[in-house]
Structure 1
Amino acid sequence: MSEKTSSAQIGVVGMAVMGSNLARNFANHGYRTAIFNRTWAKTEAVLTAHPEAHFIASQTVEEFVDSLEKPRRIIIMVKAGAGTDATIDTLIPLLEPGDIVVDGGNAFFQDTRRREEKLRAHDLHFVGAGISGGETGALEGPSIMPGGSEHSYTYVGSMLEDISAKVPGPNGDEPCCTYIGTDGSGHFVKMVHNGIEYADMQFIGEAYDLLAGAGLSAAEAADVFAEWNTGDLDSFLIEITSEVLRQTDARTGKPLVDVIVDAAGMKGTGTWTVQESLTLGVPAASIAEAVFARAASSSPELRKAARSALEGPDGTVTVEDRAAFVEDVRQALWCAKVIAYAQGLHLIKVAAVEYGWDIDVAACARIWRAGCIIRAKLLDRISNEYAANDLETLLEAPSIKAMLAEANPSWRRVVARATEAGVPIPGFSSALSYYDLVRAERTNAALTQGLRDFFGSHTYRRIDTEGTFHTVWSGDRSEVEAVDTH
């Protein structure tokens, strides 16, 4: 039902499933909610389907803007990219200084920075809010990562916190929403969340491949994942893995997982995470391997050519003690998940310095505990460790490093066993390599730098003397001090 008797406290533009569910969430929490869609038919369909929401609906954008109390608070839930820019351009002439526009889509954070600067020039506030939880989360409570001016958060923060997911705490329910920082910080944190999500799903897939290689049926693997979900691996993705593996295909009677084409899609956020890690020089190989694994899965010509040309083990994992092997895989999966979180949170820390954001890493982990796709029991531990310690990396956190040390033998056995059997584990193996790389006393980068100096005179530093040096490789190979090019 449409009401015009009072001004709306919040407005939502875009009545696709995410937008309409978010609007229903606001209405369910008692907020007078205005809705608008470029096409009236879609708005009308929402009104018909949800009369209980008592939306304030408008047929024109002018009418929509006029229906909002001041300062106006508008959330855009349209397709990221050109659609967002077009919507903003339509709104700007109708808004007044102090009004607030929130982009709740999966925008690239640099686009958010650009849009924030553009609206600031009009004395308008722009908030880039990462929203995770899918359609169900939008309706029942997502994890929300808003970035923008602190002033804007005073007007929209309490509303976003109200509709977000909640986690029971010592002083009552804690919202899975907090102020992240200025301009594009919220969308950056959401981007990294999605990168971790890519890695998490890749690790889960590798764990399933290993269990299947050891002879477990899909139903037996489902039981294993269900059991894992009662312990340290307790998480949304582990929970639904059990459900997917248990599903039987109605047409064939086979496990559904066996009739789904093994080609995974991507929408860009994982790729953005990897690109930004390269831009900032932050090692995030496990997230990158997850992105590349999806790319390989969706390259049929490459896979067909490789299958016909290459030889190797068939993926059968020979185990004498199935229970012991399953436990090794569990521990390897936990370790790999920790590495993905460590890489993602390190990327957030470095980006905060680079872009001038004051980001509380502990708070990021805290608001991921419910509502979002990567919600997991592990995030309680991660949040507490960052809150209690000044961490450069999650891996140095006291409780984390202790569990990694305990699980190390299992992790290494799994990687070795998979490699011998021909089970592809780019995620597990890259996570272990990262662990060994960052803990190494010395790396092979010394040789790399020597080679760079040989062919390009790129110079090097010494461990025993200050300064920058170059060996005259094409001459008498004497060492000379050089200008530092680092």
Structure 2
Amino acid sequence: MSNKSIGIVGLGRMGANMARRLHRKDLEVTVYNRHTEKATDLAKETGMHAAKSLEALVQALPSPRVIWLMLPAGEATQSHIDSILPLLSRGDILINGANAFYEDSVAQSQKVEAAGVHYIDAGVSGGVWGLQEGYALMVGGSQDAITQVTPFLEALAPGADRGWLHCGPVGSGHFVKMVHNGIEYGMMQALAEGFAILQGKSEFGLDLAKVAEMWRYGSVVRSWLLDLTADTLAKDQVLADIAPVVADSGEGLWTAQTALALNIPAPVITLALQMRWASQGRDDYAAKLLAMMRNQFGGHAVQKED
């Protein structure tokens, strides 16, 4: 009989909605969050169980326990693993759903597996739409561990037979997710640049929302990112209130670094990452120096800051 009980640690935008989706699929979910009111509020909303401590969470789950961490990568995830590992028993399963660097996950798994606890690294994509549409899940770990958590993967994914993949051993899940996010950087950059060019040809008076909507059908560039772009432009084509700053999660950098280490050219992903850095003001000094060079050799005017 497969396990139907799972614990979710971390109730941010992803974790809370993953818990909701699992609960809606008639699985038994116990939730914990460092700020316990988040867990309590979610339990009141859904009827699932809220634990007030990691100890209570572990005690509430039947063996073998399945605990899914949906926390920021790095210290937040590591500190929770350090706290929860001594509470677990041999055969329990710990899933790291953070956007973690795959080599860190491999190293992390060694300590967990040494304690007799299965470790699974899970790359999770779907964002705020995951509750409704399902999550794309890229998981790494032993076949035995994956088999035990398959009911949860099937419930979270868009379908039991699609949208999730056992990629290989520990580390492979986060590796595939890392490359997925690198591709995402490039696709987003290409769409943004294309629409900027369309918007710049002002004499044609193009309706960008209609262009985007038309491209959604039959076009080779149709995609979910285009769907989201079309929705944005239908609401606001000017974007006057939006600051031109794009954050980066780190996964694009890891993808570019891995490509360099493997001697695989990845110019689109790398340049898309650098454009995000540029939007964060990291090219301001270089741009100022370029302006001064033009002034020095050609006498070109330099614009002053207001």
SS of the counterpart of 2:246? coil
Matched residues in 2 for 1:247 and 1:308: separation?
40
For the structure 1 residues 211 and 280, does the alpha-carbon distance in structure 2 shift closer, same or farther, using more than 3 Å as the test? same
SS of the counterpart of 1:237? helix
Structure 2-normalised TM-score? 0.88
Matched residues in 2 for 1:8 and 1:66: separation?
15
Query: Cα offset for 1:78?
Result: 1.2
Quote the residue 1:420 is aligned against: none
Quote the residue 2:302 is aligned against: none
Quote the residue 2:229 is aligned against: 241
2:6 corresponds to 1:19: no
Quote the residue 1:281 is aligned against: 263
The answer to whether the 8 A contact 2:198-2:206 is kept is: no
Quote the residue 1:201 is aligned against: 188
Equivalent residues in 2 for 1:10-409, closer than 5 Å: 10-48=6-44, 50=45, 53-138=46-131, 140-166=133-159, 174-215=161-202, 220-231=207-218, 232-248=220-236, 255-299=237-281, 300-306=284-290
Q: Deviations over 1:14-47 (max 9, x none)?
A: 1222111111111000101111112322212222
The answer to whether the 8 A contact 2:4-2:28 is kept is: yes
Matched residues in 1 for 2:133 and 2:75: separation?
29
Q: Deviations over 1:241-267 (max 9, x none)?
A: 12222333xxxxxx4424422232211
Q: Deviations over 1:178-230 (max 9, x none)?
A: 21110100001001100000000111112112212333778612211211110
The answer to whether the 8 A contact 1:15-1:36 is kept is: yes
The answer to whether the 8 A contact 2:4-2:151 is kept is: no
The amino acid across from 2:65 in the alignment is: R
Query: Cα offset for 1:298?
Result: 2.1
SS of the counterpart of 2:207? helix
For the structure 1 residues 162 and 47, does the alpha-carbon distance in structure 2 shift closer, same or farther, using more than 3 Å as the test? closer
Structure 1-normalised TM-score? 0.57
Mark the runs of 5 or more structure 1 residues left unpaired by the alignment: 1-6, 167-172, 249-254, 312-486
Quote the residue 1:482 is aligned against: none
Rg comparison, structure with higher value = 1
Query: Cα offset for 1:301?
Result: 3.6
How many aligned positions are there? Answer: 290
Mark the runs of 5 or more structure 2 residues left unpaired by the alignment: 296-306
The amino acid across from 2:12 in the alignment is: A
Quote the residue 1:443 is aligned against: none
The answer to whether the 8 A contact 2:199-2:206 is kept is: no
Percent identical residues: 34
